[in-house]
Amino acid sequence: MGRGKKPLLEKVEIQKIAAEGKSIAYIDEKVLFVPNTLPGDIVDVQVTRKRKNFMEGIVTHTHRFSALRIAPACTHFGICGGCKWQNLPYEKQLEFKQQEINDNLQRIGKIKLQNVYPIIGSARQLYYRNKLEFTFSNKRFLTREEISREADIERTPALGFHVPGLFDKVVDIDHCCLQGSSSNEIRNFIKTYALKKGLSFYDIRAQQGFLRTLIIRTASTGEIMVILAFGHEDTGAREQLLETLVRQFPQITSLMYVINEKLNDNLTDQDMFCFHGRDHIFEEMEGLKFKIGPKSFYQTNSEQAYNLYSKTRELAGLTGQETVYDLYTGTGTIANFIARQARKVIGIEYVPEAIEDAKVNSAINHIDNTIFYAGDMKDVLNASFISKHGQPDIIITDPPRAGMHPDVVQTILQASPERIVYVSCNSATQARDLQMMDSAYEVIAVQPVDMFPHTHHVENIVLLRKREFSQTDSCQP
């Protein structure tokens, strides 16, 4: 099939779940990817993209809904783009996630699976996130249903989430089921206040406006951090808003702001200012305290983070005598979590601010057997670094979604630890990296952990052990 006219396919039956939360149907032995569908749906599909071996499309009409479907909890389901599986029973979500991990490890990694443990589900499937990022827009997104009506519709400002694939469209969110009541109350108050005072919401296309983005972090300790990003400085309006926010919500532990005049919303390179309270909040885990700053990374599901780190420590098999390298350590959460069961832990991370937090986290928990370094992993982790700090007995690696750079993989192989614990939020790139290590290491345990209910995302822990080669094997060319 070429790239000509894109057809409308009628009464297509969806067969199974695919990667990234999409579903699959088969048309003339070609794969058709359709988002926002479930196995058993019978739908008409407008093809939006076609290639030689696959097509992509969107649903234009549903003839029959899958028997798997349940009523979603959120009124914004299907519009904001988050929680795409809220219409799917949670046990089925876990089943599909487990199968995706198995498929990726076998298909991409060519891994012979053994000791694959059942996925650890989240006790809370709603209100489980500790961080959400919202965007202000001077015009809210209109749904197809609204546009199809002939009546005039007011394009009021919005404070909510970007529509997937549309950088300039923001869905106005009234109530979000991902974060607790304080988050919803703070967000709605800011929006109501801004409308009452006539403060301008950001025009994403024109790159102008006062109110730009809002981040709310809520810790398991009950502490709250609010970060407001402004498109330009207006000292009077800014201070009046922030002072009103403090009076209305005295429970806010940290109120931060930033003046972001760039063309993008990324705040990692911006100066953050503390208007009220501390410039950080604290998380707690197994008696340990973790400092969370405005730029800090911390797993967004606090309860499942504990399960993830506990299983990582368990699979590492620490006895208290090991030198452990913790790669992509972030704010040193894993490093400090395992430090009391190891002889020495060395953490490496790209973001300098995160490394400073990692050092603070060791200090406030009276941990003195950790060392942290900031820099690009492929540049820091090299032969001289290993010579200086000693050969690792265990390497724990928790890279970003893109996985590890090939140079990092090669250095790990040269370091030759007895065991490697690979934590990943992307089992496809994890499988690719495992294949690169397959000649020297075998996978002996797999433990998925669901950090993100109602989404296709899933964390996976893999334990690798150095292969044992006989003398005969070592002589082979």
Annotated binding site for S-adenosyl-L-methionine: 299, 328, 349, 398
Are 90 and 453 spatial neighbours (Cβ–Cβ below 8 Å)?
Answer: yes
Query: Strand pairing partners for 43?
Result: 12, 62
**Helix or strand or coil: residue 97?**
helix
Are 313 and 333 spatial neighbours (Cβ–Cβ below 8 Å)?
Answer: no
Among left, alpha and beta (phi > 0; psi -120 to 50; other), residue 383 is alpha
**Residue (of 307, 313, 190) closest to 246 by Cα position:** 190
| Euclidean distance between CA atoms 361 and 219, whole angstroms | 16
| Euclidean distance between CA atoms 282 and 289, whole angstroms | 6
Give phi and psi for 448, each to the nearest 5: -75, 150
| Euclidean distance between CA atoms 176 and 409, whole angstroms | 40
Concatenating the DSSP letter of every residue in 284-339 gives EETTEEEEE-TT----SBHHHHHHHHHHHHHHHT--S--EEEEET-TTTHHHHHHG
In the chain, the N- to C-terminal Cα span, in Å, equals 46
Q: Which of 80, 83, 176, 425 is catalytic?
A: 425
**Residue (of 167, 372, 133, 94) closest to 258 by Cα position:** 133
| Euclidean distance between CA atoms 258 and 277, whole angstroms | 16
425 counts as catalytic: yes
> What Å distances lie between residue 88 and 78, 223, 299, 468, CA to CA?
13, 32, 24, 44
Tokens, residue 143 = 């749904």
Are 69 and 77 spatial neighbours (Cβ–Cβ below 8 Å)?
Answer: no
Largest Cα–Cα separation, the chain = 81
Q: What kind and span of H or E run contains 389?
A: helix 383-389
Q: What kind and span of H or E run contains 235?
A: helix 235-248
Residues acting as catalytic residues: 425
